[in-house]
């Protein structure tokens, strides 16, 4: 892991702190809880942690609305506890990247409070302000990802401000050089502490069209995607996002950020890319050594109309990415804190969910690119069902009953089958989200006893992968199987090859190909 390109061969594990381990008894996970579970994570066999935001925040979007970039929110601990966490992780050989939310802040951030107070203060241009149209309507047709227009009128300034997400998350103005420089200073603060890099939330949302031109509608040939898990039309998905994000000026800031990262050898950046053409943009952001190190592509987090895993779903994004670049290095994940868990999303007709969970682990960890596991993947957790009264996600509240929002993948981790709150908390009140009854049978305590559990399989597979440089860094070539249920590809590095075959169904599949060698080393027989 002393290699500056350590992140290419590493396996990352995302932690959503609120739901990992509560050590304070308030029903919310915390940084000390992560420290307590570092031995578990080390034993699991992952190489690095991505920790979702733990900065000071009013929690309108549960930490993705930052009010102080340099302070740990008291809900999670304090800066000293983070220092302890960083040291503990490093002592166990684990890297840590933190989630930096740079495109917007909380409305409670002192910068925004000053900016909205008048039109002539030092930070009046730190956010995106615009006059109303003569009829009082917003400056243009841009839509919020979450709900409604991307503009809210502020009576103190007498202007609209831009927010691509919640109205409590005003967008910073990256056309202001002072804003860019200040954000670089916020990143430097954590680099000086010794973090190993950043996951950059909404990395293509930083800049906007200065002229505030309307986004064009999608053409008849383009699917009006809604960006959620329900099928009804959604305004954000009806537009081609030409002017509100993914602007060419974005690269200027990323270049500055890369220059900063280069001053801290061995650190890396992971960008979250959400765009109409995510592959083209991912390559543009990661090719060469001037911008991001790698991009976090969300294609694998989409559902299918049939609720099944198809080989095309795996093949298409990788082929599209590789057609654009042979050198840019992608990152892949099947899950994160924003999407329905894959066992539920793709396993609609699968009876043996444990076997299906193992299949997903095998596929993800053998693709070309850096894999990211999300907490609970190693347990095979399904999506939790949330009653309306228990929903915390503002997106879920807005879209109920068509969609319950993102809470179903955010419920607390079940550490024990028995006992209060499945070992997640000893609180005498309710946990921030309920523990799912469907999760307790998947508890860590139970799976550690079972030799054929998803958890034990994940450990074994991660251990096997550590000794497979071909799997870690090799090229990938898909093999035509003429069978919709058989996914096949070959990983190659120098003179070594590893052939990967997966049966996506629960029925026996027969497949023969002279180009493939004997199958005694298939991944079900590690």
The token duo for 232 is: 């009804």
Cα(498)–Cα(468) distance, rounded to whole angstroms?
A: 9
Q: Rounded to whole angstroms, how far apart are CA atoms 259 and 425?
A: 42
Token look-up 């002592």 returns 91
Straight-line distance from the first to the last Cα atom of the chain, in angstroms, rounded to the nearest whole number: 24
Q: Which of 272, 275, 377, 407 is catalytic?
A: 272
- Bridge-based pairing of strands 330-333 and 370-374 is parallel
Q: Which of 61, 73, 171, 201 is catalytic?
A: 201
> How many C-beta atoms surround the C-beta of residue 463 within 10 A?
12
Token digits of residue 339: 């999407």
User: And the tokens for 301?
Assistant: 């987090």
Q: 133 in the Ramachandran plot: left (φ > 0), alpha (ψ -120 to 50) or beta?
A: beta
Q: Is 520 a catalytic residue?
A: no
Residue with tokens 């420290």: 35
Here the tokens at position 213 are 């031109």
The CA-based diameter of the chain, rounded to the nearest angstrom, is 74
State the Rg of the chain over Cα.
Answer: 23
What is the rounded distance in angstroms from the CA atom of residue 447 to the CA atom of residue 13?
19
CA dihedral 321→325→329→333, nearest 10 degrees, is 0
Does the active-site annotation cover 312?
Answer: no
Torsion from C-alpha of 146, 148, 150, 152, nearest 10 degrees: -120
Q: What is the DSSP string of 320-389?
A: HHHHH-SS--EEEES--TTS--HHHHHBTT-S-HHHHHHHHHHHHTTSSSEEEEETTGGGTPPPPP--GG
- State the catalytic residues: 201, 272
């Amino acid at each position: 892991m002393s290699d500056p390109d350590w992140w290419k061969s590493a396996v990352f594990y995302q932690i959503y702190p609120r739901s990992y381990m509560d050590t304070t008894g308030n029903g919310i996970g915390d940084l000390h809880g992560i420290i307590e579970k570092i031995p578990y994570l080390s034993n699991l066999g992952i190489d690095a942690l991505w920790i979702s935001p733990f900065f000071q925040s009013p929690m309108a979007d549960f930490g993705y609305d930052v009010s102080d970039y340099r302070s740990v929110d008291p809900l999670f601990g304090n800066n000293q506890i983070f220092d302890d966490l960083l040291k503990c992780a490093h002592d166990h050989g684990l890297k840590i990247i933190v989630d930096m939310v740079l495109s917007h802040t909380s409305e409670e951030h002192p910068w925004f409070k000053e900016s909205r107070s008048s039109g002539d203060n030092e930070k009046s241009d730190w956010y995106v302000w615009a006059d109303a149209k003569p009829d009082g309507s917003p400056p243009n047709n841009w839509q919020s990802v979450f709900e409604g227009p991307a503009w809210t009128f502020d009576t103190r300034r007498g202007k609209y401000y831009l927010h691509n997400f919640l109205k409590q998350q005003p967008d910073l103005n990256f056309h202001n050089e002072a804003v860019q420089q200040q954000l670089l200073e916020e990143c430097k603060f954590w680099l000086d502490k010794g973090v190993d890099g950043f996951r950059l939330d909404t990395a293509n949302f930083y800049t906007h069209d200065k002229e505030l031109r309307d986004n064009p509608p999608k053409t008849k040939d383009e699917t009006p995607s809604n960006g959620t898990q329900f099928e009804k039309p959604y305004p954000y998905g009806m537009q081609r996002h030409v002017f509100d994000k993914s602007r060419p000026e974005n690269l200027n800031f990323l270049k500055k950020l890369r220059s900063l990262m280069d001053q801290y050898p061995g650190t890396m950046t992971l960008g979250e890319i959400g765009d109409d053409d995510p592959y083209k943009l991912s390559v543009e952001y990661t090719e060469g050594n001037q911008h991001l190190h790698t991009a976090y592509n969300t294609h694998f987090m989409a559902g299918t109309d049939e609720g099944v895993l198809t080989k095309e779903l795996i093949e298409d994004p990788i082929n599209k990415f590789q057609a654009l670049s042979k050198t840019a290095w992608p990152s892949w994940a099947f899950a994160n804190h924003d999407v329905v868990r894959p066992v539920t999303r793709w396993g609609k007709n699968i009876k043996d969910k444990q076997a299906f969970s193992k299949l997903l682990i095998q596929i993800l960890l053998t693709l070309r690119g850096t894999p990211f596991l999300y907490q609970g993947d190693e347990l095979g957790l399904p999506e939790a069902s949330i009653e309306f009264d228990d929903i915390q996600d503002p997106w879920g509240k807005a879209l109920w009953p068509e969609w319950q929002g993102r809470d179903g993948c955010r419920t607390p981790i079940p550490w024990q089958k028995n006992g209060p709150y499945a070992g997640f908390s000893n609180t005498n009140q309710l946990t921030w989200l309920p523990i799912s009854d469907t999760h307790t049978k998947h508890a860590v305590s139970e799976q550690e006893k079972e030799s054929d559990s998803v958890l034990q399989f994940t450990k074994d597979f991660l251990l096997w992968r550590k000794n497979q440089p071909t799997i870690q860094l090799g090229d990938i070539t898909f093999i035509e199987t003429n069978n919709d249920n058989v996914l096949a590809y070959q990983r190659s590095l120098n003179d070594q090859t590893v052939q990967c075959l997966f049966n996506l169904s629960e029925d026996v599949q027969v497949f023969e190909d002279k180009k493939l060698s004997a199958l005694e080393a298939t991944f079900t027989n590690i």
